[in-house]
Amino acid sequence: MAFTEAFPVITVPDLPTAVAFYRDALGFTEHYRFPAEGDPVFVTLRLGTSELGIGADATAGYELCVYADDCDEAVATLREAGGKIVAEPADQPWGERLARVVDPAGHRLMVLTRL
């Protein structure tokens, strides 16, 4: 099992305003949105080779999105290292397997594998 990439994800109460801010003020471009049609609940923006995920949520927050080649094995590794599993791995409608973990210092991680 290997971790393969990571990028920050922020949550915001007003997704369109946040996307406009990062696009207009910082020059990010939209790379991905879910759902593809209608009002999105998640958008990935790109600036050069860097990505920033922005999700709609009632409260502002932050988590680190980490991709692994096997979500279940990654969660087992993180559990053994002292991580607290707050959501066990589950398949998502957008084609990824997702789990949520909190590191020993209390930082949130979203662990994903593309299906």
Distance of CA 24 to the CA centre of its chain: 22
pLDDT of residue 72: 98
CATH number of the domain residue 90 falls in: 3.10.180.10
Instruction: Please state the rounded mean pLDDT for residues 40-51.
Output: 96
Q: What residues make up the domain containing 50?
A: 3-114
- Give the chain's mean pLDDT: 95
Global confidence as pTM: 0.83
Segment (H or E) for 20: helix 15-26
Asked if residue 10 has pLDDT above 90, the reply is: yes
pLDDT of residue 60: 87
pLDDT in tens, 47-96: 999 999 999 998 889 999 999 999 999 999 999 999 999 999 999 999 99
Percentage of the chain beyond pLDDT 90 is 94
Q: In whole angstroms, give the CA distance from residue 86 to residue 16.
A: 28
- Give whole-number Cα distances, 71 to 1, 17, 77, 90, in Å: 9, 32, 10, 9
pLDDT of residue 1: 84
Domain count across the chain: 1
